[in-house]
A = this chain, B = another copy of it.
Amino acid sequence: MAGGSRSPGASVTSRVLAVLGAFDAAHPALTLSDIARRSGLPLATTHRLVAELVTGRALARAADGRYTIGVRLWEAGLLSPLHTRLREVALPYLQELYTTVRENVHLAVWDGDEALYVEKVTGHRSVPTISRAGGRLPLHATGVGKALLAFAPPEVIAAHLRRPLRRCTAYTVTEPGRLARELATVRERGWARTHEEMTLGSCSVAVPVRDADGAVVAAIGVAGHSLGAVPQRLVPALRAAADGVAARLAETAQSSTSPVWRTSA
């Protein structure tokens, strides 16, 4: 949002959102001048907005004087359908999958041309990965991303393949023709995989999750340093989790008029 808020016509709401947008995973704690610089707002405006947001506990001031996202914003965020409709429904299945495979388990959705990680279930025996709940990674370089991309409408896939595809490692598939062929294979066999395409030394396997109408609305994946010589051995456990989540989503769709979490595709 940086810069866009300096225009005189910018609403106070957009300034408040610019302040919140100054925080990201790499910058979870900021000084007042950090916030002003990153939001593109004058320091005096920033000072006033931050004080008001601290009063409302949307921001919090830490002992070292820096500001962080506050309790009230964290609570509000957990009311998002992403959390209440998708994550809460999926968690027991992710949980069971983790106890079976003992590797990092991911749940992701397509949002703004990226894989948005809704949940990550992990334990001591899992290796660290760069994924985190609330984090975003490229669709073409992750297992869950490929599972989402493969089942998108053909014109959406084509548009995505026309974009520059970031090379995350030497093994990232960035050649559109090769990626298109791989996505066709994913559709055919029903699961996606990566081999050191996002992070060296890490691979993943993922399957799509469908809603009651058969549309792919999420993906579940397993990622680790080594998923063994035959990572597809994990596919049955992944499918069981995805089927379980799909069945529960279909149930809740019938019993509720609540909106779905999907806001863009």
- Chain A residues packing against B (C-beta within 8 Å): 11-14, 16-17, 20-21, 23-25, 28-29, 49, 52-53, 55-58, 60-64, 66, 68-84, 88, 91-92, 95-96, 98-99, 111, 116, 121-124, 126, 132-134, 257-261, 263
Contact = CB atoms under 8 A, between A and B. Distances in A.
B76 A80 contact: no
Contacts of A60: 80-81, 259, 263
Given A259-B62, A263-B60, A80 B73 contact: yes
A11 B81 contact: no
B96 A68 contact: no
Contact of A74 (B23, B63, B91, B134): B134
Number of copies: 2
Given A124-B96, A259-B60, A116 B13 contact: no
B76 A95 contact: no
Contact of A95 (B16, B49, B73, B123): B123
B75 A73 contact: no
A74 B134 CA distance: 7
Contacts of A132: 78, 88
B63 A260 contact: yes
A258 B92 contact: no
Contacts of A58: 17, 20
Contacts of A12: 11-13, 16
Contacts of A111: 71
B134 A28 contact: no
A132 B75 CA distance: 11
Contacts of A121: 91, 95
Nearest to A256: B29
B124 A23 contact: no
A112 to B, nearest CB: 8
A29 B258 CA distance: 7
A256 to B, nearest CB: 9
Given A62-B260, A64-B257, A263-B60, A78 B134 contact: yes
